[in-house]
Amino acid sequence: MDEFNLIDAFFARHQSRRRDVVIGIGDDGAVVQPAAEHELVIATDTMVEGVHFDSTTPPRALGHKIAAVNISDLAAMGAEPSWLTLALTLPRVDRDWLEEFSAGLFEIADYYHCALVGGDTTRGPLTLTVTAQGQLPKGKAISRGKAKPGDWIYVSGDLGDAGLGLAVSQQRVEVASRHLKRVYDKLHYPMPRVALGQALRGIASACIDVSDGLLADLGQILKQSNCAAQVQIDKLPLSLALTETLEAEDALRYALTSGDDYELCFTLPEQHRGQLETRIAHTAIKPVCIGQVVGGDKGKIRLRDGADEWQFAAAVQPGYNHFNDND
Ligand SMILES: [Mg+2]
């Protein structure tokens, strides 16, 4: 058995409790049994060392995050995450690294009741790819393309903390020690909004997960829905970690343009507001209404502070990636 077969055996140790995995790791392909009258939702994301993370990132965080970002895409579609495959390219075989990486991956997979059903391992520059598959009842997927003028815009939680965590890890910003855990956890261990995504089935007109920054990701909804939006900067949910660390304008810059928060941004027609409240009444989910879809220039987002127009003093680039500005 060569060392890469050893790695495969390493991941095969994980036992999932899912009964819908007919054939899992160890065959030429996995066989799974989707639920009756359901559709499959499939998402893939890759993370490359030197592009999406640097060599100081803990391997446990990498395992968590490569699964989390994929599960987050499923959440944004309203799907229930079910199965994962992993393609791993490693420069060398390092047992300790694999222990930590797989622990991070399996923690989140188990949390969301997802089974790892297959994968591949090769030698090369460190590259992580997960494909996640989820299920939802036929016709219930939430796309980016059906927002309408008048719909309310919501986000599921605080924005900008992951960007702050990255700035702290790169020693561009210092935070008080009481905020350190929060900003690092938001950067390294995001928790996808799976329950909210499912609660939005049939009522949200559009949804996206915030991976590239609110302006960029909301912009995707607006472009695909052929609409514009007004966003109230005074309504954006900001953590104490963010507001106690940064000047007001910088805090807004992080909230609006830094990525990796993996909150959901969604649009909701007025007539479904009550239904959303009912569906989440007995949960810890507290989405915040931050603005409204309007007609006008496709993709344009106007910022307002109360009743007034608001602009950054210096121009911002939506979706600016703090790690790599070529992205
Ligand atoms: Mg996404």
Rama region for 152: left / alpha / beta (φ>0; ψ in -120 to 50; rest)? beta
Residue of 235, 53, 59 whose CA lies nearest to 162 = 53
Strands 288-294 and 228-232: antiparallel
Give the Å distance between the CA of 196 and the centre of ligand 1: 15
Show binding-site residues for ATP.
119-120, 144, 211
Q: Which CATH superfamily is domain 3-137 in?
A: PurM-like, N-terminal domain (3.30.1330.10)
Q: Which residues pair with 119 in a beta bridge?
A: 86
For 204, phi and psi rounded to 5 degrees? -75, 145
Give the Å distance between the CA of 119 and the centre of ligand 1: 22
The tens digit of pLDDT for each residue in 311-323 reads 988 766 555 454 4
Which pairs with CB-CB distance under 8 Å and at least 24 residues apart come from 94-99?
97/59, 98/7, 98/10, 98/59
- Residue pair 300/197 in contact by the 8 Å Cβ criterion: no
Residue labelled with tokens 């127009």: 309
- Segments making up each domain of the chain, as ranges: 3-137, 152-309
Show binding-site residues for Mg(2+).
28, 44-45, 73, 120, 209, 212
CATH class, range 152-309: alpha beta
Give the Å distance between the CA of 144 and the centre of ligand 1: 10
Three state DSSP letters for 6-55: HHHHHHHCCCCCCCCEEECCCCCCCEECCCCCEEEEEEEEEEEECCCECC
Spatial distance between the Cα atoms of 19 and 268, rounded to a whole number of angstroms: 35
Residue labelled with tokens 């393309």: 145
Residue of 101, 100, 35 whose CA lies nearest to 63 = 101
Instruction: State the pTM of this model.
Output: 0.94
3-state secondary structure of 298: coil
Q: pLDDT digit of tens for each residue in the chain (327 aa)?
A: 577 777 777 788 777 778 999 998 888 899 999 999 999 999 999 999 999 999 999 999 999 999 999 999 999 999 999 999 999 999 999 989 999 999 999 999 999 999 999 988 999 999 999 999 999 999 999 999 999 999 999 999 999 999 999 999 999 999 999 999 999 999 999 999 999 999 999 999 999 999 999 999 999 999 999 999 999 999 999 999 999 999 999 999 999 999 999 999 999 999 999 999 999 999 999 999 999 999 999 999 999 999 999 998 876 655 545 444 333
